[in-house]
Amino acid sequence: MSDGPLRVLIVDDNADQRELLRTQFRKAGCGVASAATLDEALASIRVEVPDVAVIDLLLGVGSGWEVREKICELVPEVAIVISSVLDESDYPSSDDVLPKPFTGKQVKGLVSRLRERRA
């Protein structure tokens, strides 16, 4: 992970969820980019490599499993966080989880854990 604020890429097809996550991660001091699809996520990574990818599993086009796989291929060092309404036992391998619904306190705790791992 880079020095400075965590750079977070949010991948969620729901605009309201993307905005909520964007707001909470910015409040926690992170730089944030967002995408609704795999293609948008890959385009975002070409512009700026994230430290963290927060991925919803149930996307309208494609799946979070596919997004996770592609991001890990391109940026093996990225921390993967799964954010979903599915049961955590159904989540793919990840560095952390942020089950939906989530609170601002949970996002701050997640950011704190990710920063500790980076140090």
For residue 70, the model assigns a pLDDT of 97
Range of the domain at 46: 7-111
What total number of domains does the chain contain?
1
Strands (E), the chain: 7-11, 31-35, 52-55, 79-82, 96-97
For residue 3, the model assigns a pLDDT of 72
**Among 12, 21, 31, 29, which Cα is nearest to 106's?**
21
Residue 119 lies in a domain: no
For residue 101, the model assigns a pLDDT of 94
Rounded to two decimals, the pTM is: 0.94
For residue 2, the model assigns a pLDDT of 58
For residue 61, the model assigns a pLDDT of 84
We report the CATH number of the domain holding residue 107 as 3.40.50.2300
Which residues of the chain fall below pLDDT 70? 1-2
In the chain, what's the furthest Cα-to-Cα distance?
36
Residue 69 lies in a domain: yes
Residue 1 lies in a domain: no
Residue 117 lies in a domain: no
